[in-house]
Amino acid sequence: MDAKKQVVFIMTDTTRFDMVGCYGFPDMKTPNIDALAAEGVRFEKAYSCQPVCGPARSAIFTGLFPHSNASISNCMPLGADVKTAGEYVQEAGIHSAYIGKWHLDGGDYFGNGVCPRGYDPDYWYDMRCYLDELSEHERVYSRKESASLDGIDEKFTFAHRCTDKALDFLEKHQNTDFFLTVSFDEPHQPYLCPEPYASMYKDYEMPKKPNFYDTLEGKPEYQKLWAQEHLYEDKKNVHIRPRLFLGCNSFADYEIGRLTEAIKKYAPDAMIIFTSDHGEALGAHSLTMKGASVYEEITHIPLIIKGGAYCPSPQGAMHQSVTSHIDITPTILDYFGCEIPPVLQGKSMRPVIENPGSAFRDTVFIEFHRYEVDHDGFGGIQFMRAAVTDTHKLAIHLLENTDELYDTVNDPDEMKNLIYDSASETVRDELHRRIVDFMNDTRDPYRGYQWKVRSWNKDKEKPDWDVDACTRQRPNGTGEKRQLDYDTGLEISEFVRHKRKIKKLAGQT
C-alpha cells in the first residue's frame, strides 16, 4: 500500500533563530524542535519576507510577497483573487485543515473566527474561537503575563487547545491525504505558560552582544526614533531577562513535542515543516520588538524540514545558504503533485530538501510597509526593500535619507553601515540592481525611479519618468482566463514587453 501524501506545517510566533537549541544555543530548551532537526534538514539562514505577523504569514501561505498579495500590514486582508496553499491543495482533492493563529482576515489581532476558503470548518480554530470559549473574566486573565506567575493550567492556554485539536485531526484522518497547519501564537506576548516553563529561565540573563551597545551612528533616522530612550540608557546596568518570553518558547516546544509524537503514531510518512514568522530585537541595536529592519534578531528565523515519503531528506543535515519563506507554498504544492502557478514568486525547495548541499538561492528579499493599520504608532509608513546574501545585506528605505549595507561576514553584529564606503561600491550596486529587478519581476506596485536614484548613486542613476519602460501583466496559470493585451484586445503573447512596442503599434515614434 502506497504511503499517503501528508504534510504537517507547524509555526510559532516570534521565535527568532537563536531561541532554538539546535541552532547553536544550548541555553535554549527546545528538545522537541531539536529532535525534529536531527531527523531532517536545518536551514541555517532562513529569513522572513516581512518581519511582522500578518504580512509574514501572508507570504508563507500564498507564495506571494505582501506587496503582491495585498496584506502589507497587520489588519489588512489578502486580496480577493489571492489563493492560499490550502485552497490550491483542496482543489486537488487534498483534505486541508488550519488550526491556530491566522491573522490574514483583516480583523484585529485575534481574527474573526470565520473559516476562510480552502480549509475544513470543523477544525478551524483561530484566537477568536479560543476567546469565545472563555468567560469575560477568563478573557481578561488570558491577556495578563501575571497568569503565568499564578501557575496557570496548560489546558487553559491557546497552544494546548490547538494541539488537542490537531491530535484529533491526525487520529481521525490518518488514512487520508492531508495538509494540516498548526499555528501557535506562543511565545508571543502575553507569554502564557504553565510550570515548569514559567520558572525555567527565572535566573537566566541573555548575553549582551556588541550590537546591544549600538549607538546607531550613520544609520537611518527612523531607527533612532524607534530606539527612543533605550538609545541613551546606561547599557552596563541594563539586563536582558525575558523570563516569560523564553519560558513560553520552551512551552511551545513542549506542545510541538505532543504534536510530533502523534505524527509518528498516525502519519509517520508525513513531511513536517517548522518555522516562525519573525524575530524580536530584545535590545539589539537599542531596539525592541520588530519593524522595518534587516537585523538578524528581527528577520532571521528557524526553518526545519523533515522530508516525507515523497520527498525524502537526510537526517541531521544543514543547508548553509540563504533561504526564504516565499518558497514554502511552492514546496507544499510540489509535494502534493500540484501545478505551481506561474504567478507564485517562490520555487519548490524539493531539490535542497533531498540534497541539502546543493545550491538553491544566492539572494533572498525582505520588505516592509507598516506595522499595523489599527495603530498610529510604530513609525507609521516605512517603505523598505532589502536583499540578503550569504555575505551582505542591502536595505533601501524609500522615505529615509540613509540606506544600509552590511558585510555580515566581517561584521556579523551589523554595526557598521557601509552604504557610503567606496570599497563596497561593487557589491552595493549589484545588490541594488537585484532589488530593482526583484521589484520589476514581482510587479511591485510601489516600484519607481525613487528606488533607483539614491543619495549614494546620484552620479550613476538619474530620475527618468519612463523608469524601465516596460509593461508587466500578471501571468496566467492553467485554468485561468487568458488576459488580453491592452493595445490589441487579443490574448497576451508577452507578459513583459517594452513600451516602445506599444508606441509602434499606436503609430507613434
185 in the same domain as 326: yes
Is residue 384 assigned to a domain? no
Would you state the pLDDT for residue 506?
A: 53
In which band, very low, low, confident or very high, does the pLDDT at 378 lie, cut at 50, 70 and 90? confident
Per the domain annotation, does 111 fall within a domain? yes
pLDDT of amino acid 500 = 67
307, 331, 355 - which closes a domain: 355
Q: Are 53 and 102 in contact (CB under 8 A)?
A: no
Structural domain includes residue 434? no
Give CA–CA dist 20/10, Å, rounded.
Answer: 14
Would you say 142 and 186 are in contact if contact means Cβ atoms under 8 Å apart?
no
Distance CA 325, CA 9 (A): 12
Mean pLDDT of the chain: 95
In tens, the pLDDT along 6-20 reads 999 999 999 999 999
Give a yes or no: residue 51 inside a domain. Answer: yes
Whether 454 is in a domain gets the answer no
Using a 10 angstrom Cβ sphere, with 0-12 exposed, 13-18 middle and 19 or more buried, the burial of residue 454 is buried
Q: Residue 306: count other Cβ atoms within 10 Å of its Cβ.
A: 24
Predicted pLDDT of residue 507: 57
Q: Answer yes or no: are the C-beta atoms of 15 and 302 closer than 8 Å.
A: yes
CA atoms within 13 A on the CB side of 185: 25
pLDDT of residue 376: 79
Q: Which three cell numbers stand for residue 59?
A: 507570504
Q: How far is CA 464 from each of CA 112, 151, 362, 451, 467, rounded to the nearest angstrom? A: 45, 63, 30, 11, 5
Of 289, 321, 355, the residue at which a domain comes to its end is 355
CB atoms within 10 A of CB 480: 13
Q: What percent of the chain has pLDDT over 70?
A: 98
Whether 505 shows a pLDDT value over 60: the answer reads: no
Which residue range forms the structural domain that includes residue 497? 469-509
Same-domain pairing of 350 and 481? no
The number of distinct structural domains making up the chain is: 2
Residues 73, 203, single domain; the answer is yes
Looking at residue 501, its pLDDT comes to 55
Non-local CB neighbours of 374 within 8 Å, separated by 6+ positions: 74, 75, 108
Please give the biggest Cα pair distance in the chain: 77
DSSP-assigned states of every residue in 109-147: TT--S-PPTTS-TTT-B-HHHHHHTS-HHHHHHTT-THH
CA proximity to 16, closest of 281, 369, 413, 368: 281
Q: What is the pTM of this model?
A: 0.96
Which of 7, 32, 65 minimizes the C-alpha distance to 302?
32
Dump pLDDT digits (tens) for 115-130. Answer: 999 999 999 999 999 9
Q: Which helix (H) or strand (E) holds 470?
A: strand 470-472
Residue 43 lies in a domain: yes
Q: 303 has which bridge partners?
A: 275
Same domain, 12 and 149: yes
Asked, for residue 296, whether it belongs to a domain, the answer is yes
Question: What pLDDT does 311 receive?
Answer: 97
Say if residue 508's pLDDT is above 60. Answer: no
Q: Is the pLDDT score of 1 beyond 70? A: no
Give the contacts of 485 (CB within 8 A, at least 6 positions apart): 491, 492, 493
Has residue 504 got a pLDDT over 70? no
Report the SS3 class of residue 391.
coil
Q: Which residues are catalytic?
A: 53, 103
The CATH number that applies at residue 264 is 3.40.720.10
What are the grid coordinates assigned to 144, written together? 495578563
Between residues 505 and 395, which one has the greater pLDDT? 395
3-state SS track over 162-183: HHHHHHHHHHHCCCCCEEEEEE
| DSSP letter assigned to residue 305 | E
The pLDDT tens digits of the residues spanning 307-325 come to 999 999 999 999 999 999 9
Residue 421 sits at the vertex; the CA angle it makes with 217 and 399, to the nearest 5 degrees, is: 55
pLDDT score recorded for residue 503:
56
The residue from 355, 386, 414 where one domain ends is: 355
The pLDDT tens digits of the residues spanning 241-262 come to: 999 999 999 999 999 999 999 9
**47 pLDDT more than 70:** yes
C-alpha 458/C-alpha 400 separation (Å) is: 15
